[in-house]
Amino acid sequence: MLFGSQTRANSLPPPNGEVLLKVSGRIENTSDGEHAYFDRAMLESIGLWNVNTSTPWSNAPNRFEGVLARDLLRAVGAKGDRVTAKALNDYVIDIPIADFLKYPVILAIKKDDNYLKIRDKGPIQIVYPRDSYAELNSPRYSQKWVWHLSELIVK
Ligand SMILES: Nc1nc2c(c(=O)[nH]1)N[C@H]1C(S)=C(S)[C@@H](COP(=O)(O)O)O[C@H]1N2
Ligand SMILES: [Mo]
């Protein structure tokens, strides 16, 4: 069990705003017994983290701000060893949860102080701190920088 403290199903508060992220699969804490829904305020209430990094699309560093993936998984009581990440444009990729435990990977909602819009690869983008860990600057990781992230399924 990766996020060991949860032992029973718990309810998350219902989202008031537009749902930006849906989480399902092997999770203990849900909004409706099956899925955990997050609006922007709920994501921000988990706590925000900054990552300053270049990206697969830009050598100039940007300051991304978002929820640590490991904190989000702890908030839903995730039990698995990987997540299937899905995007609004139907992009799908599996990501090992080990990545999130080893590195401060974030689900970014802001870039350089502005909320990410769909036209900026938002509203949520997975960002790896590749300027801080040389091994992350590789195509193997670039494919896990999911933009337009909309759904995580814990497996
Ligand atoms: N939503 C979404 N995210 C995505 C992709 C995509 O097609 N859709 N492509 C991935 C891949 S394979 C890479 S290498 C990086 C960079 O993609 P690009 O080179 O097509 O811009 O984004 C990743 N994130
Ligand atoms: Mo790619």
CB-based contacts of 50: which residues, under 8 Å, 6+ apart? 63, 64, 65
Of 58, 127, 145, 150, the one to substitute when testing ligand 1's pocket (max ligand atoms within 8 A of C-beta) is 145
* CA–centroid distance, residue 16 to ligand 1 (Å): 30
* CA–centroid distance, residue 100 to ligand 2 (Å): 20
Q: What is the pLDDT of residue 1?
A: 46
Rounded to whole angstroms, what are the CA distances from 57 to 19, 62, 147? 27, 11, 12
Q: Is 130 left (phi over 0), alpha (psi -120 to 50) or beta?
A: alpha
H helix intervals, the chain: 40-46, 69-75, 97-102, 139-142
pTM of the model: 0.94
Alpha-carbon distance 137 to 130, whole Å? 5
**Nearest ligand to the C-alpha atom of residue 92:** 1
Alpha-carbon distance 19 to 109, whole Å? 13
Ligand 1 binding site (Cβ under 6 Å of any ligand atom): 56-57, 87, 89, 91, 142-143, 145-148
Q: pLDDT by residue for the chain (155 residues), tens digit each?
A: 455 544 456 899 999 999 999 999 999 999 999 999 999 999 999 999 999 999 999 999 999 999 999 999 999 999 999 999 999 999 999 999 999 999 999 999 999 999 999 999 999 999 999 999 999 999 999 999 999 999 999 99
Classify domain 21-154 at the CATH class level. alpha beta
